[in-house]
Amino acid sequence: MKNTNIKVFKVFRAMLAVSSLFFLAAGATAQAQGTDIVIGKSLPLTSKVLNREVTVQISLPGGYAAGTASYPVLYDLNGTAGFAYDRATVELLAQALDIPNMIVVGVPPLTNGYVPTPFEDRKEIPAGADQSIRFLKEELIPFVEKNYRTNAFRTLYGHSVGGLFTMYTLFNNPGLFTAYIAGSPWFQTNDQYWLKNIEKMAKERTLDGKFLFMTVGKGEAQLTIDTYKELEKWMNGNPLSGLTWKSAWLEGDHASMVGRNTYDGLIFIFSGWKIPEILLRNADVEAIDGYLKTNMAKWAKYGFDASAALPEQMLNAYGYILLNRKEFDKAVKIFLYTIKLFPKSFNALDSLAEAYLTMGDRENAIEFYTSAVEMNPGDSDYAKRVLQNSKTKLKELGVEKAPTR
């Protein structure tokens, strides 16, 4: 069965346009009616580490509620400023199969919480950045992993003083995250204290399986650029075993690159993730299978499987692209391959049945619509819609009594 989410969004957008015209023409005061587009929720957490309430934002991938898959998590220290952009960027890249879909967690600004305490001023009780690391390690990450389906791949993104914090975390608690995105890391703070003391700051130099994407804007203040050049020089001149990293000089000033860091950083971290589209368009399932087995070996240790690289809804979409092009044999191959990867998918069975029906193969259409009904638990709105479609098609095909589950 086709996914209608995009169509719904287009209809809603059209409704808004028409309603706006009516408002202007008739002087109406009522708001346009429509369906809210919800990207996440705000959750207050009581932090014993910080001794205050912290409100975080959490956004789940589309289809999360209807599935069982586990997801990587992006923790963004830019909080409310970058949360909506992060969700849209992740969805865009995931739909293009450039990255896996992700849970997004927006962390609000932690006052005085991102700059490490100078070594000579440290006391027994952690403060500053070390206290914030405790909050992430002991409270926020356990909360997210207890309440949501997550795998072992965590990404931390911070900009400015958050970028300094991100690199401080990498070099002092590398096991806390797998990947780190540091935008314009603020090493010039306190008269370049952390640049001058980077040898002492960077405790951990063995960083197997870790990723770092660090950036600076070409239009930033001269002190920022000069400090970043020295940071680059240090990074290039020191052995950082096992770290996959990149330094990028982006167009723009300090504030304008916040969103660009997310996009470019995720593309870098998941380099090589994307399956070649030509294999899908050719329905070359043998090559697809081989590619997944080879490529997913790199990611398996983080809890990824083939369904993360090639989600069911994306395979289903390619099947319908081929079906609409009247490339029937290829469409059937894609739908059959979807059933192979997702053997409990009633929607894949329904889609295969539709392909056979379109081809005029009544016998196979009945067989797979019947299987779709038998497989479908009807335990969600989505499942009920597919179930109703399968039963309606069976009735149209002359099957008076559809099977029951």
Ranges of residues in the chain with a pLDDT under 50 are 4-29
Instruction: Note the helical H segments in 255-380.
Output: 258-269, 277-281, 285-295, 306-309, 312-324, 328-341, 346-359, 362-375
Which pLDDT belongs to residue 38? 86
SS3 (DSSP) at 247: strand
Which pLDDT belongs to residue 316? 93
Q: Alpha-carbon distance 176 to 173, whole Å? A: 6
Name the pairing type of β-strands 71-76 and 52-59.
unpaired
Query: For the whole model, what pTM was predicted?
Result: 0.84
Which pLDDT belongs to residue 51? 92
DSSP at 82? T
Which pLDDT belongs to residue 125? 77
Which pLDDT belongs to residue 30? 52
Q: Alpha-carbon distance 350 to 2, whole Å? A: 10
Which pLDDT belongs to residue 405? 58
Which pLDDT belongs to residue 257? 87
Q: Please state, for a pLDDT cut of 70, what percent of the chain lies above it.
A: 91
Which pLDDT belongs to residue 358? 96
Count the Cβ atoms, other than its own, within 10 Å of residue 286: 10
Which pLDDT belongs to residue 6? 34
CATH number belonging to domain 41-269: 3.40.50.1820
SS3 (DSSP) at 54: strand
Which pLDDT belongs to residue 132? 95
Taking CA atoms, 62 is separated from 3, 92, 365, 373, in Å, by 12, 11, 29, 24
Which pLDDT belongs to residue 36? 85
Question: Is domain 277-396 given the CATH code 3.30.470.20 in the classification?
Answer: no
Summarize pLDDT for 58-105 with one digit per residue, the tens. Answer: 999 987 887 788 999 999 998 778 899 999 999 999 999 999 999 999
Calculated CA dihedral for residues 271, 296, 310, 69, nearest 10 degrees: -110
